[in-house]
Structure 1
Amino acid sequence: MKQNGFARRLRCASACAVFALASAQAYAAQAFAVASPGLADGGALDSSHAASANNCGGGNVSPALQWRNAPAGTKSFAVTIFDPDGAKGLGIVHWVLYGIAPSTTGLAAGAAMPPGSIAGTNRTGATGYYGPCPPIGDVPHHYVAQVYALDVPPDALPTGLTRDALLAAIKDHVIAATSTVLRYGR
């Protein structure tokens, strides 16, 4: 039986769509990615992650982060958590951590810093994680947790960098970056 041109084009389009979907799924499975276990991108943090100071009501426990598929050539990682909604849209830095060994694939909730890693300076001028504390009644703020795969060894950067200083220092050394967004309101 002879097929008409429309049927052939439809079969070809269907085959192309299946191939494109399979390719996209394979790429997504292999792409450098970060997630906070148990939370979807855009998921809400519970109050344990909020700041414990200034009546914020939290335990100041850093969220768990896990990353996968680090690109070839990764010599270290850096992690930042930034609230672009804070300070009336000027943003607030909650965590800066870098010099993380290339064998590391995540940070447990409230975990101590991985051996050899370096704590940068957060919004308070101190080092370490400082939890969210958006104003009462604000819409939940967005907390962008970003992981950078770097081509510099873990001990290449000085201690105590702010987020801005870290970004300037790694500008030409980022192999890949990935992020997830977490939310918190009160």
Structure 2
Amino acid sequence: MTLFTGLAAVAHAQGMSVSSSAFADNALLPAIHAGAGDCGGTNTSPPLEWKNLPQATRSVVIKMTDPDGAKGGGVVHWIAYNIPASVLSLPAGAGDKSGDQITVGKNVSGAAAYRGACPPVGDTPHHYVITVTATDLDPGRLPPGLDAAGLAVALAGHTLNGSTIVARYGR
């Protein structure tokens, strides 16, 4: 019996997942989470929930990219970090700007903000990959103002596990 208990604990540790109450994996992103103006939305970050963080997790990082953007070169729409491991979800809009338990990094335009989906008119719907990463870094350890490259350097050797969810959006 003890053997099975140990196996269940290992499976649980490896079963990190991320979901959203706004869309299912690989489904359409609701327009509210798209860019403002002609993009059809209000630049409101989507609600997210994550489960089964590794036991050593101290903080969580969120990154949203559009690998189809910039003609296949990829676009970073959202970076959020310094989220304590005790926080297991963000409601819609909670990731739009920095606050007590979240630091929002620089998106593709250099702004420390959530940047909603906004593919070119007529393109096949783009894929928006949202990755939640568990880290062994204490909340608040990473400085404000990181972009994707700076965050990657800061996370080197500190990631424990991650999970993704994909949304699609076209106009």
Verify the 8 A CA contact 2:79 2:104 in the aligned structure 1: yes
Residue of structure 2 in register with 1:94 after alignment:
77
Unmatched 5+ stretches in structure 2: 1-6
* % same residue: 44
Whether 1:41 and 2:9 are equivalent positions in the alignment is: no
State how 1:10-49 maps to structure 2 within 5 Å. Answer: 27=11, 31-49=15-33
Residue of structure 2 in register with 1:50 after alignment:
34
In 2, Cα distance between equivalents of 1:77 and 1:29: 15
**What one-letter code is carried by the residue in structure 1 that aligns with 2:26?**
G
Whether 1:85 and 2:64 are equivalent positions in the alignment is: no
In 2, Cα distance between equivalents of 1:43 and 1:27: 27
Residue of structure 2 in register with 1:178 after alignment:
163
Whether 1:133 and 2:109 are equivalent positions in the alignment is: no
**TM-score when normalising by structure 1:** 0.81
The runs of at least 4 consecutive aligned structure 1 residues that moved more than 6 Å come to none
* More displaced 10-residue stretch of structure 1: 34-43 or 151-160: 34-43
Structure number with the higher helix fraction is: 1
State how 1:100-179 maps to structure 2 within 5 Å. Answer: 100-111=83-94, 113=98, 115-179=100-164
**TM-score when normalising by structure 2:** 0.88
Number of aligned positions between the proteins: 162
Structure 2 vs 1, CA of residues 152 and 28 (structure 1 numbering), >3 Å: closer, same or farther? closer
Structure 1 residue 50: deviation in Å? 0.8
